[in-house]
Structure 1
Amino acid sequence: MNAAAPRAITQFHLAFPVRDLDEARRFYGEVIGCPQGRSDVNYQDFDFFGHHLVAHIADDPGALHDSRFDGEAVPVPHFGMNLDRNAWETLARRLKTAGVPFHEEPHLRLKGKPGQHVTMFLFDPSGNALEFKSFDDPEQTFIP
């Protein structure tokens, strides 16, 4: 008997490596027209037609590497979903029950800042990095 899949909110989240953030800002921001959100020297958030796209600087854009976000190393590239809190908590319990090892245990990120959310990172059996998060206020997904 299969349980129903966790219900996602209407955004996907994709983090991907780029060689130059200014180049990415010009292309995604100016050429495609994606509003820019949070950023620092290592990453730039974009509102990609209502979805959460994040460009991370990478020395070798084809390789898996760590980028810095809120003081922590996160694997890039990675993909995942922004879930409502109930679905996120259910998934965290399900992964723990299944004995799935976490790259980052479920925890709070950006505490007290715009875009505060809970997050967890793990790898699938093929080594693909996955992040699942739940924003305290989904309206703050793209807040700079």
Structure 2
Amino acid sequence: MNDITSAVPPFHLAFPVHSIAAAREFYGDLLGCPEGRSAEDWVDFNFYGHQIVAHLSPDEVGHRKTSAVDGDAVPVRHFGVVLPMDQWQAAAKKLTAAGLSFIIEPHIRFKGEVGEQATMFFLDPSGNALEMKAFANIASLFAK
């Protein structure tokens, strides 16, 4: 396993969307993810150094189940990124100013406990759930 302080190999995630144009607007324009290769029915993005690929598949879009976590109904199927706290705060400010509707508003979860973290959840235009989180101390990422 990699130590969280060392370079981490990029992950690859493919997910369904109802519209490639809407994916480009959301991931490229709003989130600021540079676009990579694409075809008529897919497009990949650089998501904080990781490769995510939006595939046109309208029948598979959206999250369907939630799980209770520290008083929130967290979408079971979601992906996201762990950012440094200053970047998380900037993202929360940018997304709030853009009028993005959060399914879980930016806040601190597990206050005073191991694993205390800043978190926010929102949906892309196809209903895929994303989480952005941050830790005051990144060494707490896998702490028990």
The CA deviation at 1:85 is 0.7
Counterpart of 2:132 in structure 1 is 132
Task: State the 4+ residue runs in structure 1 displaced beyond 2 angstroms.
Answer: 9-12
Alignment check: 8 A CA contact 1:115 1:136 kept: no
Question: Counterparts of 1:86 and 1:106 in 2: how far apart (Å)?
Answer: 13
Counterpart of 2:98 in structure 1 is 98
> Per the alignment, in what secondary structure is the counterpart of residue 142 of structure 1?
coil
Provide structure 2 residue ranges, at least 5 long, that are not aligned to the other structure: 1-6, 14-62
| Structure 1 position 87 matched with structure 2 position 87 | yes
> In structure 1, what residue type is equivalent to 2:76?
V
CA RMSD, aligned part only? 2.4
The CA deviation at 1:137 is 1.0
Cα deviation code 1:85-141 (max 9, x no counterpart): 111011111101111000011001000001101100000001000000001211011
Provide structure 1 residue ranges, at least 5 long, that are not aligned to the other structure: 1-8, 15-62
Counterpart of 1:118 in structure 2 is 118
- Matches of residues 20-35 of structure 1 in structure 2 within 5 Å? none
> Per the alignment, in what secondary structure is the counterpart of residue 99 of structure 1?
coil
Alignment check: 8 A CA contact 2:72 2:104 kept: no
Question: Counterparts of 2:64 and 2:116 in 1: how far apart (Å)?
Answer: 26
TM-score by length of 1: 0.56
Question: How many residues are treated as equivalent by the alignment?
Answer: 88
> Per the alignment, in what secondary structure is the counterpart of residue 94 of structure 2?
helix
Question: Counterparts of 2:141 and 2:69 in 1: how far apart (Å)?
Answer: 15
Counterpart of 2:142 in structure 1 is 142
> Per the alignment, in what secondary structure is the counterpart of residue 104 of structure 1?
strand
Instruction: Return the structure number with greater strand share.
Output: 1
Cα deviation code 1:45-83 (max 9, x no counterpart): xxxxxxxxxxxxxxxxxx620101123210110000000
Counterpart of 1:71 in structure 2 is 71
TM-score by length of 2: 0.56
> Per the alignment, in what secondary structure is the counterpart of residue 107 of structure 2?
strand
